[in-house]
A = this chain, B = another copy of it.
Amino acid sequence: MAHRTSFEVATRGRGTHDITRLVQDAIARAAVDIGHALVFVHHTSASVILCENADPSVRHDLEAFAARLVRDGDPLFTHDAEGDDDMPAHIRTILTASSITLPVAGGRADLGTWQGVYLWEHRTAPHRRRVSVTVLA
């Protein structure tokens, strides 16, 4: 049986937001034993990623790496209508992912011990991001 829910995340600008609990709650409401949960962000400047969940320095270094790999204001970019971070935000999204599919077992996402689910905002300004969770069994 398919079950679908969605929520919004108010971001504080560029950076990661732990949405593991929101995702697990959405999956729990689906009340399925074994299945797939699709966590999808409906925007082109924010990602959904799985990342180490214990040490905040991992997300700090991830952000630093992304900022160096895809530089804001790089003269290569012509698409800058919304600012220096506009095109980098699109590229960061495509290099990571707009969604992640999680295995459901025993009614919850079967994540590894160190796996957390994060919304990654790639714009420097705060945004409201719509995330949906669609569970199939």
Contacts and interface: CB of A to CB of B under 8 A. Distances in A.
A52 interface: yes
A4 B51 contact: no
A137 B61 contact: no
Interface string A24-54: 0000000011111010111110000111100
**Count of this chain's copies in the oligomeric assembly:** 3
B103 A100 contact: no
B101 A42 contact: no
Interface of A: 2-4, 32-36, 38, 40-44, 49-52, 55, 57-58, 60-62, 64-65, 68-70, 76-79, 81, 87, 90-91, 93-105, 110-112, 114-115, 130, 132, 134, 136-137
